[in-house]
Structure 1
Amino acid sequence: MYLLGIDIGTSSIKVSVVDAGTQKCLATVQYPEVETEIKSIKPGWAEQSPMDWWRNTQQAILKLNALEIFNPKEITAIGIAYQMHGLVVVDKEQNVLRDSIIWCDSRAVELGEKAFDTIGHEKCLHSLLNSPGNFTASKLAWVKNNEPELFSKIDKIMLPGDFIAMKFTGAITTSIAALSEGVFWDFRKNEVSEDVLKVYGLDKNLLPDIKPLFSEHGYLSAGIARLLGLTEGIPVAYKSGDQPNNALSLNVLKPGEVAATAGTSGVIYGVSDELTYDEQSRVNTFAHVTYSNEDKHTGVLLCINGTGSMYRWAKENFAPNQSYAELNKLAASSPIGSKGIKVLPFGNGAERMLNNKYTGAQLHGIDLNLHSRSDIFRSVQEGIAFSFRYGLDILRENGMRPKVIRAGLANLFLSDLFAQTFVDVTGVPVELYENDGSVGAALGAGIGAGIFKNNQEAFSQHKVLRYLEPKNSLEYEQVYSDWKNLLIKALK
């Protein structure tokens, strides 16, 4: 019995097949091999074609099947993880009306700020746990205000994962977690926010039917089953945004548990049993995958835009012909503090944790007679680790004090130097796991389809690969303090 997991990423689509009996991943592929284009018609805009996601999803599944490692007919459920906050709009015939306005698009910031003022800051934060900001509801309001003819044709709005599920099944559904992700959910009243609908002049009927996150969101149609070699009628049994899904894949399900990722962006994501919010909206709170009327588990999300993107930039400009593994080894040859070089890695748009300010990425203190590439690459890794510490301190202000952080052995955590620096700077031990968003989505499908009795059974084979404890925290404290002072100056 197999489970299919799909991760709709910004760069590509990744799919995995997991053996439900052993919880082991049999095969993983991604498609396309090159990064998917982000369309930026104007500064601050970011769009992608939902139909490209769908075509790439199909190609990824066919590529996976072609490995001939498993029988696709034995796949019994599908799970979907997806890039968060994107807006997809379709008409009554389920035709896509425009490209998706994706997570890193900032055109609706002013609309969100105006709505925040109109509803009232205290009421917004108390009920929505966030300001309307630049989230999906604000993106939809932008379409209403700027593309009224197109807006009049909209039958339903969706997040990226809802759209892919619709293409598999013909059914359009959502969940409380997804609605909270779009800042449509009133946590106090436990219903769709009338305040948000009213301030933006939106009809509640634009929203899909609400279903439990772990449940059957539709059944694979005959035509798509034939096309992809799958079995007609199997359910799409799980849909989640990529960060809550990453937490699921790391078995971060209970209050107090914390996950971290350091990919294109960096995230610390902690589970709480309180309806908590940050007074300055530097971090965001959404319903976690385990949220219910009985257990109001929320996910408190801190996002740093410029982490892996900063390291990629450094590689492309200072060592384009070397691998990341080679650069990690090179960085490790430089001492703690990178001989005085300091890096602010905030060059990928306005940072929410910095109160939506934009400093740009900055390299400070380069001595042409002293420094080499090893110092530059270490300073980049240290700067990224320091940005995580800065964000973690914000989470601590909001009552989250993790005793351990779980992360996947992937992206920047593949660097022994970065992983240990992260631990030393934050002062929190890290457990590293074999981890993949598409595998998490597959296990989520097993939970939603009832193949696993409960969440615990789905992760009964979950094993720690490495455990890291702080070693150089005292030595790093002054280095971090100097870096933080530089950041504060840049923010003035």
Structure 2
Amino acid sequence: MYNLGLDIGSSSVKIALVDQETGASVGVVQEPETEMSMLAVTNGWAEQNPEDWWRHVCKGIDRIKEKCGVTSKDITGIGISYQMHGLVLVDDNGEVLRNSIIWCDSRAVKIGEDAFHEIGENQCSEQLLNSPANFTASKLKWVKENEPELYAKVHKFMLPGDYIAFRFTGAINSTVSGLSEGIFWDFKNDEVSDTIMKHYGFDKSLVPDIVDTFSEQCRLSSVGAGESGLTKGTPILYRAGDQPNNALSLNVFKPGEVAATGGTSGVVYAVTNSLSVKESARVNNFAHVNYRQGEVPRIGKLLCINGAGIQYRWLLNNLDVADYDEMNALASEIATGSDGVCIIPFGNGAERMLNNREIGTRIVNLNLNNHSKSHLCRAALEGIAFSFVYGMDILKSDGITLNVIRAGNDNLFRSEIFSNTVATLIGHDIEIYDTTGAIGAARAADLHKGDFELFGKRIMDNDYVMTYTPLQEKDNYQKAYDNWKKELELILNI
């Protein structure tokens, strides 16, 4: 028998099948094979039609069944991961009222900033653990202010994963983790936030029913089964936003455990049991997947680095090199510190961890007589690694402990230079795993049984690749980091 995992991204939907007995991945498909489109009516806006997500889910399920030679009766549980912070609105017939305002849409920034000041920083930090910022609640307020006739028809709001579960089952529900990512959760009182609902003028009837993250959340209806090609009554057993789910996929549940990703952007996601917040302007705080009401909290502190892999990809596209392997080989020809060349890799928009400053990419100390593309490759890898270390220092100042980092086997962490630099400067191991969010979601469909030890063993047995340990000779790395940090602070102080 198999569990099905879905990862509903903004670029594609990934679908995985996992063997229930061993936790081994049987197959993964992506739908569509090219990127999904986004609608941007105005600069800074980003919308998608939720019907498109569902259409790709259904087509992907057909493909994975055919690829793996399984039938719908072989699939006995479903787990869902999804793009965070999106807004889906339905009327009382369950019909979608408008396109989803997705995570990267910035139309509600001012609404969230105003709410932060009007509610008060202390109250936001103590109750919401965040500024309302540009999250789901602020996007719903934008609809209320700008589309009042449509807003009057709203029966429920949902997050993207909630909508997919609804299409499968006809049930409208969400999780505490999901509501917290939308800034609808009051951690101090452990309930839906009266503060945000009253401030934005929302009726609590708009909030979906709450189900446990690991539980039988709902079962497939005859309609959902017919459209998806699965069996009526199949349970949905897990649901979480993509970053908490990525941490789960790497077996990150306890304080001291940190998940890192190094794709186009970088993410550091650290688990803590503290509700204390000092960096609400630079770090987001959400209920982790194993947060349970009335128990010791499990909070995921999320720090995003926009200028990460996109910096290295820019170099790939603009240097005369074939691929990342060649770039890594060129970088390895140069000693630690890149002979003084520093790349400040923040050229992908405003950086929240830099207090929303947009400073761009800077290449400094470049000598046109002595330096080559090898120096640029090394400086780029080091600059991105230094930005991760800088972000981890912010997390430490916000009260997290750090025992181990677990990372996916993606572009940046494949680089020995990058991973050794981070491991050496933070003084902790980096464990590398070859897994995906869809595989993690499929495995998590078994966690309603409560066996987290078995879950972790399956990750180790199936996904473990290697461990980078801190190098003993740290001085050159520290000197290079201090030089990079000095250049960054000169820019920030301009």
Change (3 A) 1:454 1:480: same
User: 2 CA distance for matches of 1:10 and 1:133?
Assistant: 20
How far off is 1:416 after superposition? 2.2
2:91 aligned partner, one-letter code: D
Residue number in structure 1 paired with 2:405: 405
User: Hey, what's the Cα distance between the residues in 2 that align with 1:36 and 1:277?
Assistant: 36
Cα 1:380–1:29 shift into 2, 3 Å: same
262-271 vs 90-99, which moves further: 90-99
Instruction: Tell me the secondary structure at the aligned position of residue 26 of structure 1.
Output: strand
Unaligned runs of 5+ in 2: none
Q: Which digits, 9 at most, give the CA deviation of each residue in 1:427-446, with x for residues without a partner?
A: 32111122211111011112
After superposition, residues 377-392 of structure 1 pair within 5 angstroms as: 377-392=377-392
> C-alpha distance in 2, partners of 1:72/1:22?
20
State the distance in 2 between where 1:277 and 1:433 align: 30
Structure 2 counterpart SS, 1:422: helix
Other-structure match for 2:217 = 217
Partners of 2:269 and 2:301 within 8 A in 1 = yes
Question: TM-score, normalization: structure 2?
Answer: 0.94
Partner of residue 454, structure 2: 457
Mean alpha-carbon deviation: is it higher for 179-188 or for 325-334? 325-334
Q: Does the Cα contact within 8 Å between 2:351 and 2:357 map onto a contact in 1?
A: yes
Q: Is the 8 A contact 1:23 1:443 kept in 2?
A: yes
Q: 1:313-333, CA deviations, whole angstroms, 9 ceiling, x for partnerless residues?
A: 2222335x7233333233323
Cα distance, 1:275 vs structure 2: 0.9
In structure 2, C-alpha distance between the alignment counterparts of 1:475 and 1:248, rounded to whole Å: 34
Q: Secondary structure at 2:17's aligned position in 1?
A: strand
Other-structure match for 2:288:
288
Per mean C-alpha deviation after superposition, the further-off stretch among 7-16 and 367-376 is: 367-376
What are the equivalent positions in structure 2 for 1:15-414 lying under 5 Å apart? Answer: 15-292=15-292, 293-319=294-320, 322-414=322-414
Distance (Å, rounded) in 2 between the aligned partners of 1:62 and 1:311? 36
Residues of 1 paired with 2:490 and 2:38: CA distance?
32
Farther off after superposition, 351-360 or 35-44: 35-44
Q: Kindly indicate whether the alpha-carbon contact (under 8 Å) linking 1:16 and 1:438 is maintained by their aligned counterparts in 2.
A: yes
User: In structure 2, how many angstroms separate the alpha carbons of the residues matched to 1:324 and 1:254?
Assistant: 34
Q: How many angstroms apart in 2 are the aligned matches of 1:215 and 1:333?
A: 52
**Conserved in 2, the CA contact under 8 Å of 1:15 and 1:29?**
yes
Cα 1:343–1:10 change in 2 (3 A) is farther
The amino acid of 2:41's aligned partner reads: I
Distance in 1 between residues matched to 2:47 and 2:361, nearest whole Å: 23
Cα distance in 2 between the residues matched to 1:397 and 1:279 = 8
- Shift of the alpha carbon at 1:205? 1.2
Shift of 1:69: 4.0
Is contact 1:177-1:289 (8 Å) kept?
yes
Q: Which amino acid aligns with 1:139?
A: K
Give structure 1 stretches of 5+ with no counterpart. Answer: none
Distance 1:146 1:456 in 2: 49
Please give the alpha-carbon distance, in whole angstroms, between the structure 2 residues aligned to 1:232 and 1:258. Answer: 38
- Could you tell me the TM-score, scaled by structure 1's length? 0.95
Q: Aligned letter for 2:314?
A: W
Asked if the contact 1:410–1:435 (Cα under 8 Å) also holds between the matched residues in 2, the reply is no
* Higher alpha-carbon deviation: 158-167 or 50-59: 50-59
| 1:261–1:267 contact (8 Å) kept in structure 2 | yes
1:147, CA displacement in angstroms? 1.8
Q: Which moved more, 1:327-336 or 1:155-164?
A: 327-336
TM-aligned CA distance change 1:317 to 1:156, over 3 Å: farther
Contact 1:278 1:284 in 2 (8 A): no
Amino acid at match of 1:356: N
Separation in 1, partners of 2:69, 2:326 = 32
- Closer/same/farther in 2, CA of residues 24 and 85 from structure 1, 3 Å limit: same
Aligned to 1:469: 469
Q: CA deviation at 1:337?
A: 2.0
1:485 maps to amino acid: K
Q: CA deviation at 1:151?
A: 1.6
Number of residues paired by the alignment? 488
User: Residues of 2 paired with 1:336 and 1:391: CA distance?
Assistant: 21
Separation (CA, whole Å) in 2 of partners of 1:458 and 1:143: 41
Provide the rounded CA distance (Å) in 1 between the counterparts of 2:53 and 2:375. 39
Alpha carbons of 1:40 and 1:313: their partners in 2 closer, same or farther (altered >3 Å)?
farther
Stretch moving more, 410-419 or 298-307: 410-419
In terms of mean alpha carbon deviation, does 348-357 or 334-343 score higher? 334-343
Q: Is the 8 A contact 1:27 1:69 kept in 2?
A: no
The answer to whether the 8 Å contact 2:130/2:280 transfers is no
Is the contact between residue 57 and residue 228 of structure 2 (CA under 8 Å) also seen in structure 1?
no
User: Is the deviation greater in 86-95 or in 438-447?
Assistant: 86-95
8 Å contact kept, 1:385–1:425: no
With 334-343 and 348-357 compared, the bigger mean Cα shift is at 334-343
Q: After TM superposition, give the deviation of residue 7 of structure 1 in Å.
A: 0.7
1:444-478, Cα deviation, whole Å (9 max, x unpaired): 11223x3xx42222232332421111125321112
